[in-house]
Amino acid sequence: MDLYHIVVRPLITEKSTHQATRHTATRGGAYSFEVHPDANKTQIKDAVQKLYGVRVMSVRTSNKQGKRRRVRWRWGRTRQTKKAVVVVDHNSHIDLF
């Protein structure tokens, strides 16, 4: 899988903005990304390191199920996504905002 297909887009929400600004002496901020559903943690780590030029400490992933929504007179579903929270080194920073 290509690097540019692993990381789909950064997730910019109020919670992810707050997590990105929290730095400690041992770890940097945590950044959220929407990733390809078949990507594993090592592929996500390598892709973020090469795309953004940072040192990744850890990766947490979660699968988000699609919700049932009303579309005109029928029922449909929103799409299923996979989310990755990437914690970077305390010397690293990603300029997303």
Domains by residue range for the chain, with CATH: 3-88 (3.30.70.330)
- The H or E element that residue 41 is part of is helix 41-52
Instruction: Decide: 44 and 59 in contact? Cβ < 8 Å.
Output: yes
Q: Could you report the per-residue pLDDT of 37-81, keeping only the tens digit for each? A: 999 999 999 999 999 999 999 999 999 999 999 999 999 999 999
The pLDDT value given to residue 96 = 77
Which pLDDT value is given to residue 97? Answer: 62
Q: What is the pLDDT of residue 40?
A: 96
Sort residue 36 into left (φ over 0), alpha (ψ -120 to 50) or beta: beta
Give the per-residue pLDDT at 28: 83
Question: So what's the pLDDT on residue 70?
Answer: 95
